[in-house]
Chains A and B, each alone.
Chain A
Amino acid sequence: MSYYLGSFLLIAIGLYTVIIKKNLIKIVIGLNFIASGVNLLIVSIGYVKNGTAPIFSKIGINPSAMVDPIPQALTLTAIVIDASELALAVAFVVLLYRHYGTLDIKKIRSLKW
């Protein structure tokens, strides 16, 4: 239960950052928080009480006492993709800074709203 609540609040904090903050690097940090919160939520859906990891490395381990492997497999690749697209986002931020000379999205003319 605590995991659900923590991941909801982490997603909310990330959304707050993306909406309210003006600094572009802070916005990228907020996107990273949203991704982490969603990963935590998906893994915690697959948890089974008193379960163990889905690895048959020990003798006499029971498949019914294992957690669900599919959410883990989904998040495993999602984390690596997050890191690479974070690099892409930072590259965009650097180019925007070189073009406009500022990180404030209020001052970047075409992103004004």
Chain B
Amino acid sequence: MSILDWIYLAIVSIGAVLAVVRMVKGPDVTNRVVGLDVFTTITVALFVFFAMIFDRYIYIDVALVYGLLAFIGVLVIARFIERGF
């Protein structure tokens, strides 16, 4: 791993930790749901990063799964909070 990778990893880790801090602190459910959404987006970046540094590009499929499906979980809770289904 080069120095650029370490910088990238540090920035992404700080983002993940901040999202978790919001999920721990958040006074309401909606704050926690937004924290989960941010955390999911950051995690997709981490999946692609791991595929790069392990030098196996077929790992990107896992990131595709989360990128395609993660919003459904947030949509479920959002629809429930607004009395959707």
Direct touch of chains A and B (CB < 8 A): yes
Stretch at the interface among A13-21, A52-60, A86-94, A105-113: A52-60
B54 and A55 contact, CB distance less than 8 A: no
User: What interface size band does chain A fall in?
Assistant: under 10
Q: Which residues of B contact A57 (CB under 8 A)?
A: 56, 58
In the bound complex, residues from chain B placing their C-beta under 8 Å from that of A52 are 54, 56
Q: What sequence of 0s and 1s flags, for each residue 38-68 of chain A, a beta carbon within 8 Å of any chain B beta carbon?
A: 0000000000000011010110000000000
- Please give me the residue from chain A that is nearest to B59 by CB atom: A53
Closest to B58 in A: A57
Beta-carbon contacts under 8 Å, B27-79 to A: 54, 56, 58-59
Nearest neighbor of A52 in chain B, beta-carbon distance? B56
Residue of B nearest to A58 (CB): B56
Which of B54, B56, B59 has the most C-beta atoms of chain A within 10 angstroms of its own C-beta? B56
A53 (CB) vs chain B CBs: closest residue: B56
Alpha-carbon distance between A55 and B57 when the two chains are bound, in angstroms:
12
Q: Nearest 9 CB-CB pairs, A to B?
A: A57-B58, A53-B56, A52-B56, A55-B58, A52-B54, A58-B56, A53-B59, A55-B56, A57-B56
List, sorted by A's number, 10 A–B pairs whose CB atoms are closer than 8 Å.
A52-B54, A52-B56, A53-B56, A53-B58, A53-B59, A55-B56, A55-B58, A57-B56, A57-B58, A58-B56
Known: A53-B56, A55-B56. 8 other contacts (CB 8 A): A52-B54, A52-B56, A53-B58, A53-B59, A55-B58, A57-B56, A57-B58, A58-B56
